[in-house]
Amino acid sequence: MKNNLNIVAYCSIKNHVVALNGIPLITKDHDLTFSEFSKEVYKELKMDYSKFFKMDDQCKLAILISEILFNHIKIDSKNKENIAIVLSNRSASLNTDRKYQETISNKENYYPSPAVFVYTLPNITIGEICIKHKIKGENVFFVSEAFNATLLKQYASCLFQNKKSKQILCGWIDFDDDQYQAFLYLVSEHGNRKFNQKSIKKIYNENIWMH
Amino acid sequence: MFQNRVAITGMGIVSSIGNTVEENLKSLLKSKNGISPIINFKTRHLHDIKVGEILKTNAQLATFLKLPKDHNYSRTALLGCIAAKQAVAKAKIKDISLHRTGLISSTSVGGMDMTERHFKKFHENKNSSKFISSHYASDSTEKIADQLGITQYITTISTACSSAANAIMLGTRLIKTGQLDRVIVGGTDALSKFTINGFKTLLILSDTDCAPFDADRKGLNLGEAAAYLILESDAIVDEGNKEVLAYVEGYGNANDAFHQTASSDNGEGAYLAMRKALDVANIQPEQIDYINVHGTATPNNDLSEGIAMKRIFGERVPDFSSTKAFTGHALAAAGAIEGVFSILALQNQVMFPNLNFQTSIPELKIIPITKVINKPLKYVLSNSFGFGGNCSTLIFSKGK
Amino acid sequence: MDALKQELKKNIIEQLNLEDFTVEDILDDDPLFGDGLGLDSIDALELIVLLDKDYGIKLTDPIEGKIVFKSIEVLANYITENRTK
């Protein structure tokens, strides 16, 4: 499929390193738990969004990475509203599924938590990004074994060609047992990196190996 | 070649109101619901909830599929395989590998039904540990692909209760843009303790038969089901001179951007999804003849959806009903079962009743169809909204 | 009573992850929802769990919750009258 799309910017978070367009932006001590790490990044970004602390880890990851990306790319609210979001991961919401399971597994101490349950769906991750940035465009969440550059590329191109959205936020946000990895990129007609499978794979791998 | 609409040439369904398309239609026409106290597994909530349960054990489903004794199919996969196979048979597909064929299946619960039974014995017992690999949401899709012999394009969508509608939307696009010739789309979700307990904590489960769009609605009944549609390109349809059950004419998805689980007061996400679907179908709101609403019977959904409908249709809201009082809310499968019901409506030129309705919601003053009504139908709109603000609308049109 | 109020404030901050609040920040008659602590519908459900877990009170009607969760003052009175543990 031919298109004139480019990658405007990309961001990654892995091993307690936050990188923007391939350049490390924030680096934190490896010994920190994810909860400590995410709180430090939150503070460093000078965010004022108390809902952040109520989220599960995967959503915290999504909020941080999207915040960094949108701090970097200034988009007016009208255009922001129409952004489409195409996310994927391997673990769906497994990390929180486990936590929820713990709240219903003990007959003597049986207190299922509604606040945990609401995060037992992967697309809540997209929902949180939408709420934070007032994005109302189309969104979809794919669950697959590995990052699938082709699928994400095709889906984004299709959204663009069908005039559904001029800007598409794509990526991989995965959290499982304190192992996490987030990679997010914004695609539009503007920007200076050509958008194709090869370039996505290249920057994805560059982000992975860098850490 | 770019085609404007995509043909549906087959469909299959297993739900609490029937194990085939025909059985489902019969129940709908007889106003016979499938809501009852749960029997397939024990739960402490037995007396405070009613569900739309498929009254077949896993062993019966496995025998039906002729699976080997040591299989590791979750109930989600079992139901999915049965419905998908029906759809393939209905579309009279002999050799599935002759055309570029994909499978897009959706689920929210995945293999949780087995995990919660075997979790504690995972490390010690082989009969339990075999279910570790069937936990993942994508496992049910892989199993269906195995059963059907699909290898080219397989993906799993998990966007809560709009999942199957999104699967139908993606499949339609893949055909429209010429990337595949045929896509099997739909969803499957089995009941599990995990789901029941979760919804119970949100205090949105009704202890009686749910009453969508009623002023005194108390919440939803959960259900389990699987349903699949066969989408085919014009080329395949023409070449095989195939019967077209209906067309996917429009689709739209938008985010409500309001709350993790609650719908917004003005129904923005639902409004945008319907608006986009009408635009894709290139038709006016007044051309919609019937709406199969999401209508979960929670106080929040029905009010928000009703407000969105009034924003689209003004005071002339088309005939509508929620079929969730028949089947319960089958979550990730809901969009597909209601897709099947929308197609049945078009094929039979009939609208299905919104059971248990008595009083209209004061803020809305709109009244759903409460009995079986025959009427010429050309366009049917179907809504599916999910947690995370994910709102989807599909528009189906009459086949040839 | 004051001890109960203090305990409630501490538990609510902990259970609802109110990162920006300390026990001193919450006044006895501050509204818990709306402008006060900015709690939402999921927090209300989580408070229902808290009542059950810590005080053995089973609330099943969300509308009843709205009245009981008006403020720490109202909540503490309700707990004192209805607690089973």
Same domain for B269 and B194, yes or no, is no
- B190 occurs within a structural domain: yes
* Least confident residue range of A95-99, A173-177, A197-201, B74-78: A197-201
Mapped onto helix, strand or coil, the DSSP state of residue C60 is coil
Confidence at residue B135, expressed as pLDDT on a 0 to 100 scale: 92
CATH number for the domain harbouring residue B183: 3.40.47.10
Query: Tens of pLDDT along B339-355?
Result: 999 999 999 999 999 99
* Yes or no, beta carbons of C62 and B203 under 8 Å apart: yes
Residue B181 maps to a domain? yes
Q: Give the pLDDT score at A191.
A: 82
Confidence band for C60, pLDDT divided at 50, 70 and 90: confident
Contact B262 C49 (CB under 8 A): no
Count of structural domains within chain B:
2
Range A193-206 average pLDDT: 82
Least confidently predicted of A162-176, B148-162, C53-67 = C53-67
Q: Do B152 and B257 reside in the same domain of the chain?
A: no
Could you give the CA distance from residue B188 to residue B80 in angstroms, rounded to a whole number? Answer: 5
Question: What integer best gives the mean pLDDT of chain B?
Answer: 96
List subunits contacting chain C, requiring 3 or more Cβ pairs under 8 Å.
A, B
Is B20 within the bounds of a domain?
yes
A110 in contact with chain C, both atoms CB, cutoff 8 A: no
B323 and B203 together in one domain? no
Chain A residue numbers with beta carbons less than 8 Å from the beta carbon of C46 are 113-115
| pLDDT for residue A211 | 40
Asked whether residue B217 is assigned to any structural domain, the reply reads yes
Listed residues B211, B240, B269: the one ending a domain: B240
Yes or no, beta carbons of C41 and B260 under 8 Å apart:
no
Phi, psi (rounded to 5 degrees) for B389: 75, 10
From the CA of A84, how many Å to the nearest CA of chain C?
27
Alpha-carbon distances of B181 from A54, B70, B186, rounded to whole Å: 45, 35, 17
Are B349 and B230 found together in one domain?
no
The average pLDDT across A171-177 equals: 94
Residue B117 resides in a domain: yes
Distance (Å, whole) CA C8 – CA C76: 8
Average the pLDDT over B20-25 and give the result: 98
- In a domain? residue B177: yes
Write the DSSP string, A109-160: T----HHHHTTSSTHHHHHHHHHHHT--S-EEEEE-SS--HHHHHHHHHHHH
The dihedral over CA atoms of A98, A103, A105, A111, expressed in degrees to the nearest 10, equals -160
| Domain A6-210 fold | Peroxisomal Thiolase; Chain A, domain 1 (3.40.47)
Sequence-distant (≥ 6) Cβ neighbours of residue A140 within 8 angstroms = A85, A86, A87, A155, B157, B159, B166, B170, B253
User: Is any Cβ of chain B less than 8 angstroms from the Cβ of C60?
Assistant: yes
pLDDT number for residue C35: 76
Residues B169 and B306 in one domain: no
Q: What percent of chain A has pLDDT over 90?
A: 71
Which of A52, A53, A113 is opposite residue C46, by nearest beta carbon? A113
Which position has the higher pLDDT, C32 or B319? B319
The pLDDT value recorded for residue B4 is 81
B189 in contact with A at a CB cutoff of 8 Å? no
Residue B1: per-residue pLDDT: 44
Separation of alpha carbons C69 and B391, rounded Å = 31
Please name which of B155, B144, B169, B149 lies closest in space to residue B76, comparing C-alpha atoms: B144
Instruction: Decide which of B192, B208, B240 is a domain's last residue.
Output: B240
Q: What is the CATH number of domain C2-82?
A: 1.10.1200.10
* 3-state helix/strand/coil string of chain B: CCCCCEEEEEEEEEECCECCHHHHHHHHHCCCCCEECCCCCCCCCCCCCCEECCCCCHHHHHHHCCCCCCCCCCHHHHHHHHHHHHHHHHCCCCCHHHCCEEEEEECCCCCHHHHHHHHHHCCCCHHHHCCCCCCCHHHHHHHHHHHHCCCCEEEEECCHHHHHHHHHHHHHHHHHCCCCCEEEEEEEECCCHHHHHHHHHCCCECCCCCCCCECCCCCECEECEEEEEEEECHHHHHHHCCCCCEEEEEEEEEECCCCCCCCCCCCHHHHHHHHHHHHHHCCCHHHCCEEECCCCCCHHHHHHHHHHHHHHHCCCCCEEECCHHHHCECHHHHHHHHHHHHHHHHHHCEECCCCCCCCECCCCCCCCCCCCEECCCCEEEEEEEEHHHEEEEEEEEECC
In a domain? residue B245: no
How far is the C-alpha of B159 from the C-alpha of A125, rounded, in Å? 10
Percentage of residues in chain C having pLDDT higher than 70: 99
| Interval B236-257 mean pLDDT | 96
| Catalytic residue IDs of B | 161, 294, 329
pTM for the whole structure: 0.90
pLDDT band of A196, cuts 50, 70, 90: confident
The minimal CB distance from C17 to the residues A53, A111, A118 is found for A53
Q: Is residue B1 part of a domain?
A: no
pLDDT at residue number C37: 83
Residue of B nearest to C59 (CA): B203
Q: Which domain holds residue B328?
A: 250-398
Residue-level pLDDT at B2:
55
Among candidates A188, A176, A208, A96, which has minimal Cα distance to A137?
A188
Mean pLDDT of chain A: 91
How many angstroms separate the CA of residue B270 from the nearest CA in chain A? 11
* Residue at a domain's end among B188, B206, B240: B240
User: Could you tell me the CA-to-CA distances from B138 to A46, A140, B21 in Å, in that order?
Assistant: 38, 15, 25
To 10 degrees, the CA torsion angle through A40, A42, A45, A49? -150
C-alpha distances (whole Å) from A6 to each of A77, A148, B62 are 21, 18, 48
pLDDT score of C66: 81
**Residue A207: predicted pLDDT:** 61
Q: Rounded CA gap, B272 and B383, in Å?
A: 12
